[in-house]
């Protein structure tokens, strides 16, 4: 028998075919190069399946013991890097099954009773993704804690708040950091919600129609700590909503990282000079010795497009598929794996980078003085003196115009000149027009007053404890 014929005979489905798969097709269709990372989930699912088969009397207790013994040896071989992954065996599932059969004989062949690779791979991906979500939740928590530390340290630090990238009103730098805590908290909520739908068991759906063996799918779900079973066999093997949902949640988390990155990049530039990143998160230039480039936030901004691209790819992958399983679904793994890897790496490095930010309060305060940031405070002051808000708005606009013409801040206009805009203005206006006064005045829930910042820090710390 030729080597090609031997390879042909080794295929799990080969008996029907009269010629071996071509090497080109073998390489094109093989997934073992990337799906071997599912090996722990594959063994975990197989052991739960074997235990159920034995408890239902479908395989013997001896077969179950042999399967468990063989799987323990396979896990050790993989962990030590001794496992021989074979391209001819296509994927992680057939590689592990073939090695199991080598080790324990017919017991290994009986393991696949009552299941298909279709429900097996869907189970493996869900088990793997559940673990990734748990890791990501921890990393989101670490990043929030790093931001909270920065927020607490700088509850009193004045930062120009922007709208349209124009100086709008003074805010606490701590308050600004808390905005990102809110974003990443929502990301954590979304991940928890996705996890509930990930944590459903497809195993037992078999190829597409279920099986005639008396399986106890609920037992397997309990053994794998899943929240229940997928109720429709057709949907169970073909559903990839959970992968799309995860990638959507990951995309939004990366968008939040990208927004933070954009601000860090701007703030670090000489035109702002608000912060400094630790040297270990930056690089220099090959020809300009003065440069200190914010490579980490720039790369994170770029990697956001990569993750969003994976979301579009997965949506496109599924849009034209009829029920049930199709080989197209092999293409779900690489974007899913890369999304999880990219998000984990990004969150990990950002938690450390945020902890190493040096803040330049004086530069922030000077910038806040340049844009008439307390103009709204003057309008509110006049409203409290009895002026309708629209009239107050118009009055302050004239005062701003006068200050701009003299290239000074609104607070630098003399009292007699301010009184020409409205006679109700008195000496107490200068407290209102100060950056500190503006900050302290916004002492309401969700406001930027330092007292509110500290209150919010405490609430978030309690949530993350």
Q: Which of 2, 3, 18, 164 is catalytic?
A: 164
DSSP 285: -
H or E, element range at 187: helix 173-198
Q: Give the end-to-end CA distance of the chain in Å, rounded to a whole number.
A: 65
Comparing C-alpha atoms, which of 299, 298, 312, 303 is closest to residue 341? 303
* Contact by Cβ (8 Å): 27, 74: no
Burial degree of 335 (CB within 10 A; 0-12, 13-18, 19+): buried
Q: Rounded to whole angstroms, how far apart are CA atoms 447 and 150?
A: 17
Report the DSSP pairing between strands 358-359 and 166-172.
unpaired
Assess whether 285 carries a catalytic annotation: yes
Q: Which of 269, 285, 404, 426 is catalytic?
A: 285
Taking the CB of residue 426, how many other CB atoms lie within 10 A of it?
12
Q: Rounded to whole angstroms, how far apart are CA atoms 17 and 30?
A: 18
Output the CA torsion sign for 49, 52, 54, 56: negative
Assess whether 164 carries a catalytic annotation: yes
Q: Rounded to whole angstroms, how far apart are CA atoms 290 and 1?
A: 70
Task: Cite the active site residues.
Answer: 164, 285
């Amino acid at each position: 028998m030729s080597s090609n014929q031997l390879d042909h005979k080794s295929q799990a489905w080969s008996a029907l075919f009269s010629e071996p798969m071509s090497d080109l097709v073998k390489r094109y269709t093989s997934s073992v190069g990337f799906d071997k990372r599912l090996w722990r989930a594959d063994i975990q699912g197989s052991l739960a399946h074997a235990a159920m088969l034995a408890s239902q009397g479908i395989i013997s207790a001896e077969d179950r013991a042999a399967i468990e013994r063989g799987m323990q040896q396979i896990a050790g071989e993989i962990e030590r890097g001794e496992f021989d992954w074979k391209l001819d065996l296509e994927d992680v599932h057939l590689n592990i099954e073939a090695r199991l059969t080598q080790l324990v004989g017919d017991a290994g062949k009986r393991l696949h009773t009552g299941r298909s690779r279709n429900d097996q791979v869907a189970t493996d991906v869900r088990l793997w993704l559940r673990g990734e979500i748990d890791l990501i939740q921890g990393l989101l928590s670490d990043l929030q804690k790093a931001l909270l530390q920065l927020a607490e340290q700088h509850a009193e630090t004045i930062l120009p708040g922007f709208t349209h990238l124009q100086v709008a009103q003074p805010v606490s730098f701590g308050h600004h950091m808390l905005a990102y805590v809110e974003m990443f908290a929502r990301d954590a909520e979304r991940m928890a919600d996705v996890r509930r739908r990930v944590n459903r068991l497809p195993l037992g759906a078999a190829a597409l129609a279920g099986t005639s063996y008396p399986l106890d799918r609920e037992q397997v779900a309990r053994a794998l700590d899943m929240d229940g079973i997928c109720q429709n066999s057709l949907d169970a093997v073909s559903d990839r909503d959970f992968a799309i949902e995860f990638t959507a949640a990951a995309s939004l988390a990366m968008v939040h990282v990208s927004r933070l990155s954009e601000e860090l990049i701007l703030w670090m530039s000489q035109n702002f000079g608000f912060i400094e990143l630790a040297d270990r998160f930056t690089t220099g230039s090959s020809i300009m010795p003065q440069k200190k480039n914010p490579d980490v936030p720039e790369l994170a901004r770029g990697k956001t497009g990569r993750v969003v691209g994976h979301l579009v790819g997965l949506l496109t992958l599924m849009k034209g598929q009829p029920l049930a399983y199709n080989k197209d679904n092999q293409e779900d793994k690489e974007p899913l794996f890369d999304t999880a890897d990219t998000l984990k790496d990004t969150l990990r490095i950002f938690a450390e980078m945020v902890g190493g930010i040096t803040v330049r309060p004086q530069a922030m305060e000077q910038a806040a003085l340049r844009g008439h940031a307390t103009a709204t405070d003057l309008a509110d002051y006049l409203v409290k003196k009895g002026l309708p808000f629209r009239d107050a708005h118009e009055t302050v606009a004239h005062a701003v115009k006068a200050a701009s013409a003299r290239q000074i801040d609104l607070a630098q206009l003399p009292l007699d000149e301010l009184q020409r805009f409205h006679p109700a203005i008195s000496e107490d206006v200068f407290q209102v027009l100060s950056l500190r006064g503006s900050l302290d005045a916004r002492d309401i829930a969700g406001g930027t007053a330092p007292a509110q910042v500290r209150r919010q820090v405490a609430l978030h710390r309690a949530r993350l404890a």
